[in-house]
Structure 1
Amino acid sequence: MTNLYLVRHAHSIYTPDEMGRPLSKKGLLDAKRITNLFENEDIHIAISSPYKRAFQTIEGVAHHFNLDIQIEFELRERKLSSCPIDDFETAITKVWEDPSFSLKGGESNEIAQQRGLACIFKILEKHKGKNIVIGTHGNIMVLIMNYFDVRYDFNFWKNLQMPDIYKLSFEDNNFKSISRVLINEFL
């Protein structure tokens, strides 16, 4: 079995610098709790989006297992638009209602999902039989999960926690299951 632990990043401090946005004090504390959660697992590989908040969320896990974090640019958050968005709720609802729709300079659900899946399938091919922790983001994570099970949709995304962890299990490259890793007792 290959197990992918998709870790939605912990709470971050908002800045316009999408790549460099760091975890907040609460986010850093939650990242330590995630490290504690994985202490008794057997993690072989650590992979992250290039965004600082995703990297910081799994950094302690990687350190605990003496792993370098591999950066996968394709696991970055979906780009909603290249222009400032006045009404985020309306914009995000629209892209989820119409999977092929994109705002100016942004990615549609279809495009973002294809990007994320290409990366996931590459990881599965390269790391068969491994347990892999992956630092990523809510929208791209749910779009990836939605490919395997349509129950992971817009309403599901709206209820994600920050952080949140979902385990995707594969036998060879065949999808088997998705399960939530319960972290509430740690947060």
Structure 2
Amino acid sequence: MKAFLIRHAQSTGQAADAPLTDRGYQDARALVPTLIEREAGPLFASPMRRAVETLTPYAEHSGQTIRRLDSLRERLLSPTPLTDWETHIQRSFQDPNHAPEGGESHTDLLARWTSAFAEITQNGGTPAFVTHGGMTSALFHSLTAEFGFQGWKQLRNPDLFEVTLTKGRLSAFTRIELETYP
């Protein structure tokens, strides 16, 4: 099944209720023609505000509702702030079970993905779903080890990929270039 994976547009922060920046809102609106052309739907998003707001302009234009899936939420790297957070992200690509105490590993994210996959694929169509860099990179890394720490660093806000979903997992991905990037 084909689907569209969207990494959320630029936001004002990492909090669950952080809104998009002015640029983020502009980029979210710029996604609309691409999603119209590809007849995206049904629609799913992480419950975090920045994910929902990324898909809202298209949902309003197409008359669709956005179904919020907790399983698409941002990775909890650690329940406490880390000064060396990027080091832990890098280690996640070397060891999928690595996570700071109380945080989520790539293995944890992929387990969450199983739940999201079931919901996203049950309605047919060409689903579009908005998630975060942690989930996106864990999915891509599970498909190819070549997508690692540098791939994570090169993800954009927003970023749009056509993905193939097969037997409970992501089996292919291709970036769709957007005109919204400088």
TM-score where L is the length of structure 2: 0.90
CA distance in 1, matches of 2:2, 2:142: 17
- Matched residue, 1:127: 123
Give, as a single letter, the amino acid of the residue that structure 1 aligns with 2:7: R
CA distance in 2, matches of 1:92, 1:165: 22
- Matched residue, 2:22: 25
Report if aligned partners of 2:117, 2:169 keep a CA contact under 8 Å in 1: no
- Matched residue, 1:11: 10
Report if aligned partners of 2:139, 2:170 keep a CA contact under 8 Å in 1: no
Unaligned runs of 5+ in 1: none
CA distance in 2, matches of 1:96, 1:81: 16
RMSD, aligned CA: 2.0
- 1:88 counterpart (85, 88, 93): 85
In the TM superposition, residue 134 of structure 1 has moved relative to its aligned partner by 0.6
- Percent identity, aligned pairs only, is 27
- 1:138 counterpart (129, 133, 139): 133
Give, as a single letter, the amino acid of the residue that structure 1 aligns with 2:53: Q
TM-score where L is the length of structure 1: 0.87
- 1:69-108 C-alpha deviation (Å, 9 max, x unpaired): 0010000011100011112222222233221121121011
Structure 1 SS opposite 2:24: helix
- Matched residue, 2:150: 155
Give, as a single letter, the amino acid of the residue that structure 2 aligns with 1:186: T
What does residue range 91-102 of structure 1 map to in structure 2 within 5 Å?
A: 91-102=88-99
Moved more, 2-11 or 162-171: 162-171
What does residue range 34-113 of structure 1 map to in structure 2 within 5 Å?
A: 34-113=31-110
CA distance in 2, matches of 1:102, 1:153: 16
Report if aligned partners of 1:117, 1:144 keep a CA contact under 8 Å in 2: no
